[in-house]
Amino acid sequence: MRHGTDSIIVLLAAGILAAACTHSRYQNVREYIAAGWDRTVRVNTCDTPDSLIGLPEPYTVPCEDGMFNELYYWDTYFTNEGLIADGRIDLAKGNVNDIIYLIGRYGFMPNGNRLWYLSRSQPPFATAMAESVFNATRDTAWLASVWPVLCREHEFWRKERMTPAGLNRYGGSPDEKLLKEFTITASSRLGTDFRALGWEEDRLSKFGYDCVAECESGWDFNPRFDRRCGDFCPIDLNAILYKAEKTMASFATVLGCDDPGIWESRAAERKERILQLCYDPDKKAFFDYDFVHSSRSDVLSAAPFALLWAGMLDGEHAESVRRTLESLEFDCGIAVCAKAPYEFSYQWSYPNSWPPVTFMAVKGLSDYGFLEDAERLAGKYLRATERLFRRTGQLWEKMDATTGSIPADSEYGTPAMLGWTAGTFVCFDEFLTNE
Protein backbone atom coordinates (compact mmCIF):
# COMPACT_ATOMS: atom_id res chain seq x y z
CA MET A 1 0.00 0.00 0.00
CA ARG A 2 1.35 3.44 -0.88
CA HIS A 3 1.64 6.39 1.43
CA GLY A 4 -1.02 9.00 0.80
CA THR A 5 -0.39 12.22 -1.10
CA ASP A 6 -1.66 14.53 1.66
CA SER A 7 1.86 15.40 2.81
CA ILE A 8 2.87 16.47 -0.71
CA ILE A 9 -0.25 18.64 -1.02
CA VAL A 10 0.59 20.31 2.27
CA LEU A 11 4.18 20.91 1.24
CA LEU A 12 3.17 22.34 -2.13
CA ALA A 13 0.62 24.59 -0.48
CA ALA A 14 3.32 25.91 1.82
CA GLY A 15 5.67 26.48 -1.09
CA ILE A 16 8.38 24.37 0.53
CA LEU A 17 9.14 22.17 -2.44
CA ALA A 18 9.51 25.11 -4.81
CA ALA A 19 11.74 27.00 -2.38
CA ALA A 20 13.98 23.98 -1.96
CA CYS A 21 14.66 23.80 -5.69
CA THR A 22 14.89 27.38 -6.95
CA HIS A 23 18.58 27.75 -6.04
CA SER A 24 19.56 24.77 -8.21
CA ARG A 25 20.88 24.71 -11.77
CA TYR A 26 19.00 21.43 -12.03
CA GLN A 27 15.60 22.68 -10.93
CA ASN A 28 13.76 20.24 -13.21
CA VAL A 29 15.38 17.20 -11.61
CA ARG A 30 15.18 18.58 -8.06
CA GLU A 31 11.46 19.27 -8.41
CA TYR A 32 10.93 15.77 -9.79
CA ILE A 33 12.80 14.28 -6.84
CA ALA A 34 11.12 16.45 -4.20
CA ALA A 35 7.68 15.56 -5.52
CA GLY A 36 8.67 11.92 -5.98
CA TRP A 37 9.87 11.02 -2.50
CA ASP A 38 6.34 10.28 -1.29
CA ARG A 39 5.63 8.13 -4.33
CA THR A 40 8.27 5.71 -3.05
CA VAL A 41 6.79 5.46 0.45
CA ARG A 42 5.11 2.22 1.47
CA VAL A 43 3.09 1.36 4.59
CA ASN A 44 2.92 -2.32 5.57
CA THR A 45 2.63 -2.87 9.29
CA CYS A 46 1.84 -6.60 9.19
CA ASP A 47 3.57 -9.62 7.67
CA THR A 48 1.80 -10.73 4.51
CA PRO A 49 1.22 -14.24 3.04
CA ASP A 50 3.37 -13.35 0.02
CA SER A 51 6.53 -13.03 2.18
CA LEU A 52 6.59 -9.29 2.88
CA ILE A 53 7.80 -8.53 6.40
CA GLY A 54 5.70 -5.85 8.09
CA LEU A 55 7.42 -2.75 9.45
CA PRO A 56 6.22 -0.35 12.16
CA GLU A 57 6.73 2.90 10.21
CA PRO A 58 6.36 4.10 6.61
CA TYR A 59 9.48 3.36 4.59
CA THR A 60 10.95 4.27 1.22
CA VAL A 61 11.68 1.83 -1.59
CA PRO A 62 14.16 2.29 -4.45
CA CYS A 63 11.63 2.15 -7.32
CA GLU A 64 8.20 3.70 -7.67
CA ASP A 65 6.91 0.67 -9.57
CA GLY A 66 8.01 -2.81 -10.59
CA MET A 67 11.12 -4.36 -9.09
CA PHE A 68 12.80 -3.33 -5.85
CA ASN A 69 9.65 -2.40 -3.94
CA GLU A 70 10.95 -3.38 -0.54
CA LEU A 71 13.06 -1.60 2.07
CA TYR A 72 16.64 -2.40 1.04
CA TYR A 73 19.54 -2.11 3.41
CA TRP A 74 22.45 -0.28 1.83
CA ASP A 75 20.28 1.55 -0.72
CA THR A 76 18.59 3.30 2.17
CA TYR A 77 21.75 5.03 3.42
CA PHE A 78 22.13 6.96 0.15
CA THR A 79 18.40 7.60 -0.07
CA ASN A 80 18.44 8.94 3.48
CA GLU A 81 21.28 11.33 2.75
CA GLY A 82 19.14 12.87 0.01
CA LEU A 83 16.02 12.88 2.17
CA ILE A 84 17.83 14.73 4.95
CA ALA A 85 19.31 17.23 2.49
CA ASP A 86 15.77 17.78 1.12
CA GLY A 87 14.38 18.36 4.61
CA ARG A 88 12.57 15.00 4.82
CA ILE A 89 14.06 13.96 8.14
CA ASP A 90 10.74 12.30 9.03
CA LEU A 91 11.12 9.73 6.27
CA ALA A 92 14.83 9.21 6.94
CA LYS A 93 14.23 8.60 10.64
CA GLY A 94 11.35 6.24 9.87
CA ASN A 95 13.61 4.23 7.57
CA VAL A 96 16.21 3.90 10.33
CA ASN A 97 13.57 2.92 12.88
CA ASP A 98 12.39 0.15 10.55
CA ILE A 99 15.94 -1.10 10.08
CA ILE A 100 16.41 -1.06 13.85
CA TYR A 101 13.19 -3.08 14.15
CA LEU A 102 14.45 -5.70 11.70
CA ILE A 103 17.82 -6.01 13.45
CA GLY A 104 16.01 -6.41 16.76
CA ARG A 105 13.74 -9.07 15.29
CA TYR A 106 16.35 -11.12 13.41
CA GLY A 107 19.71 -10.23 14.97
CA PHE A 108 20.91 -8.63 11.74
CA MET A 109 19.51 -6.43 9.00
CA PRO A 110 18.33 -8.59 6.08
CA ASN A 111 18.98 -7.64 2.47
CA GLY A 112 15.38 -6.36 2.47
CA ASN A 113 12.04 -6.89 4.20
CA ARG A 114 11.17 -10.15 2.43
CA LEU A 115 11.39 -13.61 3.94
CA TRP A 116 13.64 -14.78 1.09
CA TYR A 117 16.16 -12.08 2.03
CA LEU A 118 16.76 -13.63 5.45
CA SER A 119 19.60 -15.67 3.92
CA ARG A 120 21.89 -12.63 3.89
CA SER A 121 22.44 -9.03 4.88
CA GLN A 122 23.98 -6.17 2.88
CA PRO A 123 26.76 -3.61 3.52
CA PRO A 124 26.17 -2.57 7.17
CA PHE A 125 25.23 1.10 7.05
CA ALA A 126 22.87 1.15 10.07
CA THR A 127 25.29 3.04 12.31
CA ALA A 128 26.09 5.56 9.57
CA MET A 129 22.35 6.11 9.02
CA ALA A 130 21.81 6.58 12.75
CA GLU A 131 24.64 9.10 12.82
CA SER A 132 23.07 11.14 10.02
CA VAL A 133 19.67 11.19 11.74
CA PHE A 134 21.22 12.08 15.09
CA ASN A 135 23.27 14.90 13.54
CA ALA A 136 20.06 16.27 12.02
CA THR A 137 17.92 15.96 15.17
CA ARG A 138 20.32 15.87 18.16
CA ASP A 139 17.76 13.55 19.75
CA THR A 140 19.77 11.81 22.47
CA ALA A 141 16.73 9.91 23.78
CA TRP A 142 16.25 8.38 20.34
CA LEU A 143 19.96 7.61 20.07
CA ALA A 144 19.87 5.86 23.45
CA SER A 145 16.94 3.75 22.25
CA VAL A 146 18.76 2.51 19.12
CA TRP A 147 22.17 2.06 20.77
CA PRO A 148 21.63 -1.55 22.05
CA VAL A 149 20.43 -2.67 18.62
CA LEU A 150 23.41 -1.09 16.86
CA CYS A 151 25.66 -2.97 19.28
CA ARG A 152 23.81 -6.18 18.46
CA GLU A 153 24.32 -5.72 14.73
CA HIS A 154 28.02 -5.07 15.19
CA GLU A 155 28.30 -8.31 17.16
CA PHE A 156 26.64 -10.15 14.27
CA TRP A 157 29.39 -8.98 11.92
CA ARG A 158 32.11 -9.73 14.49
CA LYS A 159 30.85 -13.28 15.10
CA GLU A 160 29.26 -14.38 11.83
CA ARG A 161 31.44 -12.65 9.22
CA MET A 162 34.94 -12.57 10.73
CA THR A 163 37.94 -14.25 9.08
CA PRO A 164 41.23 -15.60 10.48
CA ALA A 165 42.89 -12.52 8.94
CA GLY A 166 41.11 -10.33 11.48
CA LEU A 167 39.01 -8.58 8.82
CA ASN A 168 35.42 -9.18 7.80
CA ARG A 169 33.97 -10.89 4.77
CA TYR A 170 30.53 -11.33 3.23
CA GLY A 171 28.63 -14.58 3.59
CA GLY A 172 25.13 -15.85 4.16
CA SER A 173 22.99 -18.58 5.68
CA PRO A 174 21.35 -20.19 2.64
CA ASP A 175 19.65 -23.58 2.53
CA GLU A 176 20.41 -26.17 -0.15
CA LYS A 177 17.45 -25.14 -2.30
CA LEU A 178 18.63 -21.53 -2.31
CA LEU A 179 22.20 -22.56 -3.12
CA LYS A 180 20.97 -24.41 -6.19
CA GLU A 181 18.79 -21.48 -7.20
CA PHE A 182 21.73 -19.10 -6.91
CA THR A 183 23.90 -21.40 -8.98
CA ILE A 184 21.28 -21.35 -11.73
CA THR A 185 20.79 -17.58 -11.42
CA ALA A 186 24.51 -16.87 -11.56
CA SER A 187 24.87 -19.19 -14.54
CA SER A 188 22.20 -17.20 -16.33
CA ARG A 189 23.61 -13.81 -15.41
CA LEU A 190 27.21 -14.69 -16.25
CA GLY A 191 26.35 -16.61 -19.40
CA THR A 192 27.88 -19.94 -18.31
CA ASP A 193 26.08 -23.10 -17.18
CA PHE A 194 28.20 -23.92 -14.14
CA ARG A 195 26.13 -27.02 -13.36
CA ALA A 196 27.09 -28.44 -16.76
CA LEU A 197 30.83 -28.15 -16.06
CA GLY A 198 30.98 -31.50 -14.28
CA TRP A 199 31.60 -29.96 -10.84
CA GLU A 200 31.03 -32.12 -7.77
CA GLU A 201 28.11 -31.17 -5.53
CA ASP A 202 30.36 -29.70 -2.85
CA ARG A 203 31.98 -27.39 -5.42
CA LEU A 204 28.57 -26.36 -6.73
CA SER A 205 27.42 -25.69 -3.14
CA LYS A 206 30.51 -23.57 -2.51
CA PHE A 207 29.82 -21.65 -5.71
CA GLY A 208 26.20 -21.11 -4.65
CA TYR A 209 27.37 -19.89 -1.23
CA ASP A 210 29.80 -17.46 -2.86
CA CYS A 211 26.98 -16.15 -5.04
CA VAL A 212 24.89 -15.49 -1.91
CA ALA A 213 27.90 -13.74 -0.37
CA GLU A 214 28.34 -11.59 -3.47
CA CYS A 215 24.68 -10.60 -3.29
CA GLU A 216 25.28 -9.62 0.34
CA SER A 217 28.11 -7.38 -0.88
CA GLY A 218 25.67 -5.40 -3.03
CA TRP A 219 28.11 -5.73 -5.96
CA ASP A 220 26.32 -8.63 -7.64
CA PHE A 221 28.16 -9.55 -9.76
CA ASN A 222 31.69 -8.17 -10.21
CA PRO A 223 35.25 -9.28 -11.08
CA ARG A 224 36.79 -8.29 -7.72
CA PHE A 225 36.19 -11.65 -6.04
CA ASP A 226 36.83 -14.10 -8.90
CA ARG A 227 33.39 -15.64 -8.18
CA ARG A 228 34.71 -16.61 -4.71
CA CYS A 229 33.32 -13.73 -2.68
CA GLY A 230 33.31 -15.67 0.58
CA ASP A 231 37.12 -16.02 0.36
CA PHE A 232 37.77 -12.27 0.36
CA CYS A 233 38.02 -9.47 2.90
CA PRO A 234 36.48 -6.61 0.87
CA ILE A 235 37.99 -3.16 1.28
CA ASP A 236 34.66 -1.34 1.34
CA LEU A 237 33.03 -3.67 3.89
CA ASN A 238 35.89 -3.15 6.30
CA ALA A 239 35.87 0.59 5.69
CA ILE A 240 32.16 0.70 6.56
CA LEU A 241 32.80 -1.28 9.76
CA TYR A 242 35.75 0.97 10.65
CA LYS A 243 33.53 4.03 10.36
CA ALA A 244 30.86 2.25 12.41
CA GLU A 245 33.38 1.57 15.18
CA LYS A 246 34.54 5.20 15.23
CA THR A 247 30.93 6.37 15.26
CA MET A 248 30.03 4.00 18.08
CA ALA A 249 32.90 5.44 20.07
CA SER A 250 31.42 8.92 19.64
CA PHE A 251 27.93 7.64 20.52
CA ALA A 252 29.31 6.03 23.67
CA THR A 253 30.78 9.38 24.67
CA VAL A 254 27.51 11.23 24.03
CA LEU A 255 25.42 8.66 25.90
CA GLY A 256 27.91 7.72 28.61
CA CYS A 257 26.74 4.12 28.32
CA ASP A 258 29.90 2.31 27.23
CA ASP A 259 33.66 2.64 27.12
CA PRO A 260 34.58 4.56 23.94
CA GLY A 261 38.06 3.05 24.19
CA ILE A 262 36.72 -0.40 23.27
CA TRP A 263 35.36 0.92 19.99
CA GLU A 264 38.44 3.03 19.29
CA SER A 265 40.64 -0.04 19.85
CA ARG A 266 38.58 -2.10 17.41
CA ALA A 267 38.83 0.64 14.80
CA ALA A 268 42.59 1.00 15.28
CA GLU A 269 43.15 -2.74 14.91
CA ARG A 270 41.01 -2.84 11.77
CA LYS A 271 42.94 0.07 10.25
CA GLU A 272 46.26 -1.63 10.95
CA ARG A 273 45.14 -4.86 9.27
CA ILE A 274 43.74 -3.07 6.23
CA LEU A 275 47.01 -1.21 5.71
CA GLN A 276 48.98 -4.42 6.18
CA LEU A 277 46.88 -6.78 4.06
CA CYS A 278 45.07 -4.66 1.46
CA TYR A 279 47.69 -2.09 0.48
CA ASP A 280 50.16 -2.98 -2.27
CA PRO A 281 53.26 -0.80 -1.73
CA ASP A 282 54.60 -1.56 -5.21
CA LYS A 283 51.40 -0.65 -7.05
CA LYS A 284 50.60 2.03 -4.45
CA ALA A 285 46.95 1.00 -4.42
CA PHE A 286 44.46 -0.89 -2.26
CA PHE A 287 42.98 -4.25 -3.24
CA ASP A 288 40.58 -6.76 -1.66
CA TYR A 289 42.40 -9.43 0.38
CA ASP A 290 41.97 -13.14 -0.39
CA PHE A 291 42.44 -14.61 3.10
CA VAL A 292 42.16 -18.22 1.83
CA HIS A 293 45.19 -17.84 -0.46
CA SER A 294 46.94 -15.06 1.51
CA SER A 295 47.05 -12.80 -1.53
CA ARG A 296 45.50 -9.64 -2.89
CA SER A 297 43.07 -9.40 -5.75
CA ASP A 298 44.54 -7.92 -8.92
CA VAL A 299 41.33 -6.05 -9.81
CA LEU A 300 41.60 -2.29 -9.42
CA SER A 301 38.21 -0.98 -8.33
CA ALA A 302 36.56 2.10 -6.90
CA ALA A 303 35.87 0.28 -3.61
CA PRO A 304 38.89 1.93 -1.86
CA PHE A 305 37.11 5.30 -2.03
CA ALA A 306 35.13 3.92 0.92
CA LEU A 307 38.36 4.25 2.93
CA LEU A 308 38.28 8.02 2.30
CA TRP A 309 34.55 8.18 3.06
CA ALA A 310 35.29 6.42 6.36
CA GLY A 311 38.11 8.86 7.20
CA MET A 312 40.58 6.03 7.72
CA LEU A 313 43.63 7.07 5.70
CA ASP A 314 46.50 9.49 6.10
CA GLY A 315 48.75 11.33 3.66
CA GLU A 316 50.33 8.98 1.15
CA HIS A 317 47.61 6.35 1.41
CA ALA A 318 44.87 8.90 0.75
CA GLU A 319 46.79 10.19 -2.26
CA SER A 320 47.14 6.65 -3.60
CA VAL A 321 43.34 6.27 -3.62
CA ARG A 322 42.95 9.63 -5.34
CA ARG A 323 45.38 8.54 -8.07
CA THR A 324 43.16 5.60 -9.03
CA LEU A 325 40.99 8.17 -10.82
CA GLU A 326 43.56 7.97 -13.61
CA SER A 327 42.24 4.47 -14.37
CA LEU A 328 38.62 4.83 -13.26
CA GLU A 329 37.41 8.27 -14.36
CA PHE A 330 35.67 8.81 -17.70
CA ASP A 331 33.61 11.49 -19.42
CA CYS A 332 30.43 10.80 -17.45
CA GLY A 333 31.83 9.63 -14.10
CA ILE A 334 33.81 6.84 -12.51
CA ALA A 335 33.55 3.18 -13.48
CA VAL A 336 33.36 0.80 -10.53
CA CYS A 337 36.26 -1.29 -11.91
CA ALA A 338 39.12 -0.50 -14.25
CA LYS A 339 38.86 -1.48 -17.91
CA ALA A 340 40.38 -4.95 -18.36
CA PRO A 341 39.76 -8.21 -20.26
CA TYR A 342 37.63 -9.89 -17.59
CA GLU A 343 36.39 -13.43 -18.15
CA PHE A 344 32.73 -12.47 -17.83
CA SER A 345 30.59 -9.41 -18.49
CA TYR A 346 29.71 -7.98 -15.10
CA GLN A 347 27.27 -5.19 -14.33
CA TRP A 348 29.46 -4.08 -11.41
CA SER A 349 32.45 -3.40 -13.62
CA TYR A 350 33.67 -1.19 -16.46
CA PRO A 351 32.04 0.76 -18.01
CA ASN A 352 29.23 1.01 -15.46
CA SER A 353 29.01 3.79 -12.92
CA TRP A 354 26.90 3.29 -9.78
CA PRO A 355 25.61 6.14 -7.55
CA PRO A 356 26.62 4.68 -4.15
CA VAL A 357 30.24 4.27 -5.20
CA THR A 358 30.30 7.73 -6.76
CA PHE A 359 28.76 9.16 -3.57
CA MET A 360 31.50 7.72 -1.37
CA ALA A 361 34.19 8.86 -3.80
CA VAL A 362 32.98 12.46 -3.90
CA LYS A 363 32.33 12.63 -0.15
CA GLY A 364 35.70 11.07 0.64
CA LEU A 365 37.68 13.24 -1.78
CA SER A 366 35.96 16.35 -0.45
CA ASP A 367 36.62 15.44 3.19
CA TYR A 368 40.32 14.94 2.40
CA GLY A 369 40.64 18.30 0.67
CA PHE A 370 40.76 16.97 -2.90
CA LEU A 371 38.11 19.52 -3.79
CA GLU A 372 38.93 19.87 -7.46
CA ASP A 373 38.49 16.13 -7.97
CA ALA A 374 35.33 16.01 -5.84
CA GLU A 375 33.72 18.93 -7.67
CA ARG A 376 34.64 17.55 -11.07
CA LEU A 377 33.15 14.12 -10.31
CA ALA A 378 30.02 15.61 -8.75
CA GLY A 379 29.56 17.83 -11.79
CA LYS A 380 29.93 14.90 -14.18
CA TYR A 381 27.33 12.91 -12.26
CA LEU A 382 24.85 15.80 -12.18
CA ARG A 383 25.22 16.66 -15.86
CA ALA A 384 25.03 13.05 -17.05
CA THR A 385 22.02 12.29 -14.84
CA GLU A 386 20.22 15.44 -15.96
CA ARG A 387 20.85 14.69 -19.64
CA LEU A 388 19.47 11.18 -19.22
CA PHE A 389 16.49 12.61 -17.33
CA ARG A 390 15.73 15.04 -20.16
CA ARG A 391 15.81 12.20 -22.68
CA THR A 392 13.77 9.70 -20.68
CA GLY A 393 11.85 11.62 -18.02
CA GLN A 394 13.22 9.34 -15.29
CA LEU A 395 16.21 8.61 -13.06
CA TRP A 396 17.99 5.27 -13.44
CA GLU A 397 19.78 2.80 -11.20
CA LYS A 398 23.16 3.13 -12.95
CA MET A 399 24.73 4.52 -16.13
CA ASP A 400 27.60 3.97 -18.54
CA ALA A 401 30.52 6.08 -17.31
CA THR A 402 31.84 6.56 -20.84
CA THR A 403 28.63 7.66 -22.58
CA GLY A 404 26.14 8.60 -19.85
CA SER A 405 23.61 6.19 -21.37
CA ILE A 406 21.62 3.36 -19.82
CA PRO A 407 24.22 0.57 -19.70
CA ALA A 408 24.15 -2.50 -21.88
CA ASP A 409 25.90 -4.67 -19.25
CA SER A 410 23.00 -5.20 -16.84
CA GLU A 411 21.98 -8.57 -15.45
CA TYR A 412 18.34 -7.74 -14.81
CA GLY A 413 17.91 -4.62 -16.93
CA THR A 414 18.30 -1.10 -15.59
CA PRO A 415 15.22 -0.07 -13.60
CA ALA A 416 13.90 3.46 -13.34
CA MET A 417 14.79 4.49 -9.84
CA LEU A 418 14.56 7.30 -7.34
CA GLY A 419 16.39 5.74 -4.37
CA TRP A 420 20.14 6.15 -4.28
CA THR A 421 20.23 7.92 -7.65
CA ALA A 422 18.04 10.71 -6.31
CA GLY A 423 19.80 10.82 -2.94
CA THR A 424 23.18 11.16 -4.60
CA PHE A 425 21.87 13.82 -7.00
CA VAL A 426 20.44 15.97 -4.20
CA CYS A 427 23.63 15.74 -2.12
CA PHE A 428 25.91 16.58 -5.05
CA ASP A 429 23.73 19.51 -6.10
CA GLU A 430 23.81 20.89 -2.56
CA PHE A 431 27.57 20.30 -2.38
CA LEU A 432 28.33 22.27 -5.54
CA THR A 433 25.78 24.98 -4.76
CA ASN A 434 27.26 25.60 -1.33
CA GLU A 435 30.91 25.53 -2.38
Q: 371-410 pLDDT, tens per residue?
A: 999 999 999 999 999 999 999 999 999 999 999 999 877 7
Question: Is residue 388 in a domain?
Answer: yes
Task: Name the 3-class secondary structure at 119.
Answer: helix
| Parallel/antiparallel/unpaired status of strands 295-296 and 329-330 | unpaired
The amino acid present at 11, given as its one-letter code, is L
| CA distances (Å), origin 234, targets 16, 63, 170, 293, 336 | 42, 28, 8, 14, 14
- Measure the CA–CA gap between 7 and 342, rounded to whole angstroms: 48
Distance of CA 104 to the CA centre of its chain: 21
Could you give the number of structural domains in the chain?
Answer: 1
Question: Is residue 288 in a domain?
Answer: no
Q: Which residues contact 154 (CB under 8 A, 6 or more apart)?
A: 124, 127, 241, 244, 245, 248
Q: Quick: pLDDT tens for 70-79.
A: 999 999 999 9
Question: Is residue 383 in a domain?
Answer: yes
Domain span at 413: 300-418
Task: Name the 3-class secondary structure at 303.
Answer: coil
Q: Quick: pLDDT tens for 339-368.
A: 999 988 899 999 999 999 999 999 999 999
Instruction: Return the higher-pLDDT residue of 377 and 434.
Output: 377
Question: Is residue 370 in a domain?
Answer: yes
Sign of CA dihedral 352, 99, 265, 163: negative
Q: DSSP for 14-78? A: HTHHHHHHTT-TTHHHHHHHHHHGGGGEE---S--TTSBPP-SS-EE-S-SSSS--S-BHHHHHH
Question: Is residue 193 in a domain?
Answer: no
| pLDDT for position 4 | 34
Question: Is residue 392 in a domain?
Answer: yes
Q: Quick: pLDDT tens for 125-138.
A: 999 999 999 999 99
Question: Is residue 47 in a domain?
Answer: no
Peptide bond into 251 cis (omega under 30): no
Flag whether pLDDT at 192 surpasses 90. no
Enter the pTM of the model.
Answer: 0.93
- Measure the CA–CA gap between 201 and 8, rounded to whole angstroms: 54
- Measure the CA–CA gap between 124 and 432, rounded to whole angstroms: 28
Flag whether pLDDT at 3 surpasses 60. no
